[in-house]
């Protein structure tokens, strides 16, 4: 009996050794834990939402095991924060947030969407009341929406939903935490006490040590070169130069149709202006459509509709208005959460670019007419009649001859004299079709006539 027990013990130890060895081999084969780090250190807006999406896509490609969000933000747009929150909640790997000073407003929402929260000494989380661009509380419909998503996010990650609601609504009373009239904002120690922070840490490495992650490789997310190029074109100064290219190119093409180069420059300017704003969620489809509608109206005014009237003015309004709206994070025509400074900057950039293009056109146009290149391609001399130069398209003079108006002359048109049709014009008066006329002067290829 003892022999049988001894055999079973030896067999059990052998099995444990084999499985243990297999586990060690598997761990060795898998390599170090991949820790992917992305930063949220600016306002939450469409650009930040795109940044987080790109970062998480990259983390998936890198087969990251843990995502750490390095956060320090005062918040931003609720809609964009909700997009980031949703993406973090749906991500299938652990997401930890390292609050490296502040996680206010939209930053608080994103933080509680993470699986674990860690904060540095002296950090803060909360104050998620929705405010307008002027810093005053937004209407209750916005507060209600924010309260709802804060509660649901807290519930999903096992945190007290009433505290999350108290970060938005100052009417919420929580015994021992807050009283009516005060918004919940936790320090690091208060967040730990109330389940809104796992621990106080000084660095990301300390977070990993607390979670027994010793063999790891950090991957810091950085934008690709193409994304950096896109970010470069979002600079207001660059946007102004692109607007100058667009308006200047269109104007030059209208002045010299068929050349092609000015139109090509305008098209390139449109692509580099519209694409970055569209990719970052600032340029809505309808705003781009209004821009092209404005161009069509201006073209109709120039080529189809005589004079400068309603179509031209409406076209300019559409073009200028759409270019301004594309640069700001407005919700259709709702500017409640758009800072007035952003609207002013966008207006200055667009109008400055257009005015600048007019100035450049006049300055460069004048200098070009004085350049040697222009002299080589343009006729600069005049052929005066005093020097013997004459032009005559007719075999015999028509001065004094009579005929009839072949078309209405108002004041220019065509006349018929001795069964031949000629271009003609009057001294300013109208002559009806079929009325008798008399040639009073021969001016180059046209006749000056009067009614008989």
> Cβ distance 68 to 36 under 8 Å?
yes
Same domain for 427 and 334 = no
Q: What is the pLDDT of residue 36?
A: 97
Q: What is the pLDDT of residue 20?
A: 43
Q: What is the pLDDT of residue 72?
A: 95
Q: What is the pLDDT of residue 99?
A: 97
Q: pLDDT-based confidence at 373, cuts 50/70/90?
A: low
> Cβ distance 131 to 138 under 8 Å?
yes
- CATH of residue 442: 2.40.50.140
Q: pLDDT-based confidence at 4, cuts 50/70/90?
A: very low
The per-residue pLDDT for range 67-82, each reduced to its tens digit, is 999 999 998 888 889 9
Domain stops at, among 332, 348, 366: 366
CA distance readout (Å), 243 to 256, 357, 366: 20, 8, 22
> Cβ distance 153 to 113 under 8 Å?
yes
Same domain for 181 and 310 = no
Q: What is the mean pLDDT of residues 329-353?
A: 76
Across the chain, mean pLDDT equals 82
Same domain for 237 and 125 = no
Same domain for 317 and 234 = yes
Residue at 6 is within a domain: no
Report the relative pairing of strands 412-417 and 402-405 from DSSP bridges: antiparallel
Q: What is the mean pLDDT of residues 198-210?
A: 95
Preceding amide of 411 cis, omega within 30:
yes
Query: Which position has the higher pLDDT, 259 or 291?
Result: 291
Among the ranges 122-136, 173-187, 348-362, which has the highest mean pLDDT value?
Answer: 173-187
Q: What is the mean pLDDT of residues 293-305?
A: 82
Residue at 371 is within a domain: no
Cβ count near 169 (within 10 Å):
18
Whether the per-residue pLDDT at 123 is higher than 90: the answer is yes
Same domain for 135 and 218 = yes
Residue at 383 is within a domain: no
Residue at 10 is within a domain: no
Closest to 266 measured CA to CA, from 302, 230, 292: 292
Same domain for 257 and 204 = no
Q: What is the mean pLDDT of residues 144-165?
A: 93
Same domain for 242 and 211 = no
Q: pLDDT-based confidence at 27, cuts 50/70/90?
A: very low
Cα separation, 424 vs 286, in Å, equals 49
Lowest mean pLDDT among 194-203, 300-309, 375-384, 389-398: 375-384
- CATH of residue 48: 3.90.226.10
Domain stops at, among 158, 191, 222: 222
Cβ count near 380 (within 10 Å):
8
Same domain for 333 and 246 = yes
Q: What is the pLDDT of residue 21?
A: 35
pTM score, whole prediction: 0.65
Q: pLDDT-based confidence at 382, cuts 50/70/90?
A: low
Structural domain total, the chain: 3
Residue at 334 is within a domain: yes
Query: Which position has the higher pLDDT, 315 or 445?
Result: 315
What is the domain extent for residue 97? 31-222
Whether the per-residue pLDDT at 127 is higher than 80: the answer is yes
- Strand ranges in 41-195 using DSSP code E only, listed in sequence order: 66-73, 95-104, 116-119, 124-126, 185-187
Same domain for 264 and 138 = no
Please give the DSSP secondary-structure letter assigned to residue 409: B
Q: What is the pLDDT of residue 17?
A: 40
Q: What is the pLDDT of residue 179?
A: 84
Lowest mean pLDDT among 173-187, 224-238, 240-254, 366-380: 366-380
Q: What is the pLDDT of residue 393?
A: 58
Same domain for 212 and 234 = no
Residue at 429 is within a domain: yes
Q: What is the pLDDT of residue 158?
A: 93
Same domain for 323 and 251 = yes
Q: pLDDT-based confidence at 380, cuts 50/70/90?
A: low
Domain stops at, among 222, 246, 264: 222
The per-residue pLDDT for range 355-368, each reduced to its tens digit, is 877 777 666 665 65
Residue at 88 is within a domain: yes
Q: pLDDT-based confidence at 7, cuts 50/70/90?
A: very low
Same domain for 359 and 215 = no
Whether the per-residue pLDDT at 249 is higher than 60: the answer is yes
Closest to 97 measured CA to CA, from 69, 66, 125: 69
Residue at 187 is within a domain: yes
């Amino acid at each position: 009996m003892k022999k049988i027990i001894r055999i079973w013990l030896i067999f059990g130890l052998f099995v444990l050794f084999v499985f243990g060895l297999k586990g060690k081999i598997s761990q060795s084969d898998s390599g170090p834990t991949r820790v992917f780090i992305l930063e949220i250190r600016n306002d939450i807006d469409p650009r930040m939402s795109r940044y987080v999406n790109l970062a998480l896509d990259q983390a998936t490609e890198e087969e990251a095991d843990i995502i750490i969000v390095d956060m320090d933000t005062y918040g931003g747009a609720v809609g964009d924060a909700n997009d980031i929150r949703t993406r973090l909640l749906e991500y299938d790997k652990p997401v930890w947030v390292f609050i490296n000073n502040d996680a206010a407003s939209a930053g608080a929402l994103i933080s509680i969407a993470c699986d674990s929260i860690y904060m540095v000494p002296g950090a803060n989380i909360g104050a998620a009341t929705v405010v307008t661009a002027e810093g005053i509380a937004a209407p209750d419909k916005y507060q209600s929406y924010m309260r709802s998503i804060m509660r649901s996010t807290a519930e999903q990650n096992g945190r007290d939903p009433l505290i999350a609601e108290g970060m938005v609504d100052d009417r919420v009373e929580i015994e021992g935490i807050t009283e009516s009239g005060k918004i919940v904002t936790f320090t690091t120690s208060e967040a730990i006490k109330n389940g809104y922070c796992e621990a106080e840490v000084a660095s990301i490495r300390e977070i990993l040590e607390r979670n027994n992650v010793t063999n790891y490789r950090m991957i810091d997310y950085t934008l690709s070169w193409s994304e950096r190029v896109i970010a470069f074109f979002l600079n207001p100064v660059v946007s102004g130069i692109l607007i100058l290219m667009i308006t200047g190119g269109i104007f030059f093409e209208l002045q010299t149709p068929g050349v092609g180069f000015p139109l090509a420059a305008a098209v390139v300017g449109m692509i580099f202006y519209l694409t970055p704003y569209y990719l970052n969620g600032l340029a809505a489809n309808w705003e781009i459509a209004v821009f092209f509608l404005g161009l069509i109206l201006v073209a109709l005014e120039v080529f189809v509709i005589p004079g400068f009237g309603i179509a031209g003015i409406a076209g300019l309004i559409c073009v200028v208005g759409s270019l301004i709206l594309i640069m700001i994070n407005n919700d259709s025509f709702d500017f409640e959460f758009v800072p007035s400074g952003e609207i002013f900057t966008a207006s200055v950039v667009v109008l400055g670019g257009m005015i600048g293009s007019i100035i450049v056109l006049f300055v460069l146009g004048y200098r070009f007419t004085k350049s040697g290149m222009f002299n080589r391609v343009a006729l600069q001399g005049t052929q005066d009649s005093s020097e013997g130069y004459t032009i005559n398209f007719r075999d015999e003079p028509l001065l004094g001859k009579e005929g009839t108006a072949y078309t209405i002359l108002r004041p220019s048109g065509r006349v018929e004299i001795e069964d031949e049709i000629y271009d003609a014009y009057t001294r300013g008066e109208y002559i009806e079709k079929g009325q008798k006329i008399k040639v009073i002067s021969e001016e180059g290829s046209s006749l000056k006539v009067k009614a008989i």
